[in-house]
């Protein structure tokens, strides 16, 4: 039997392989906006891996000015997290490295 390959159209390819930053996170940001810093919540994995769900929620949290602290995964299909205020943005070193801490005497 010969191998059959069908080339995807550019629209099909864009849907299947979205570029970084082009995923629609509005559902996640809307859900996070209902929470306040200090609130704890849980979310079901559904069909997503814990890694994918954490990434999406983390990106949405960044857009809303929050950061998330994750609880240990108990393997129950549910992720638990705490909402925090995003830390003040420190200027990063241009070479991508962390700066040295200054000694206080």
Domain ranges of the chain: 37-85
Q: What is the pLDDT of residue 88?
A: 65
Separation of alpha carbons 68 and 37, rounded Å: 9
Transcribe 44-104 into DSSP letters. E-TTS-HHHHHHHHHHHHHHHTEEEEEPPP-SSSEEEEEEEEPPPPPPPPTTSPPPPPPP-
The three-class DSSP label of residue 36 is coil
Q: What's the pLDDT tens digit per position in 24-54?
A: 889 999 999 999 999 999 999 888 889 989 9
pTM score above 0.85? no
Q: What is the pLDDT of residue 60?
A: 93
Closest CA to 19 of 9, 28, 10: 10
22 in Cβ contact with 56 (< 8 Å): no
pLDDT in tens, the chain (105 residues): 899 999 999 888 888 887 766 678 899 999 999 999 999 999 998 888 899 899 999 999 999 999 999 998 777 889 999 999 987 655 556 666 766 777 776
């Amino acid at each position: 039997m010969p191998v059959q390959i069908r080339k995807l159209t550019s629209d099909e390819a864009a849907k299947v392989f979205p570029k970084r930053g082009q995923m629609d996170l509005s559902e996640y940001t809307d859900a996070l906006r209902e929470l306040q810093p200090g609130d704890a919540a849980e979310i079901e994995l559904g069909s997503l891996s814990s890694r994918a769900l954490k990434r999406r929620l983390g990106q949405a949290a960044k857009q809303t000015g929050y950061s998330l602290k994750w609880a240990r995964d108990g393997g129950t299909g549910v992720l638990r997290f705490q909402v925090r205020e995003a830390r003040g943005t420190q200027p990063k070193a241009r070479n991508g490295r962390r700066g040295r801490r200054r000694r206080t005497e």
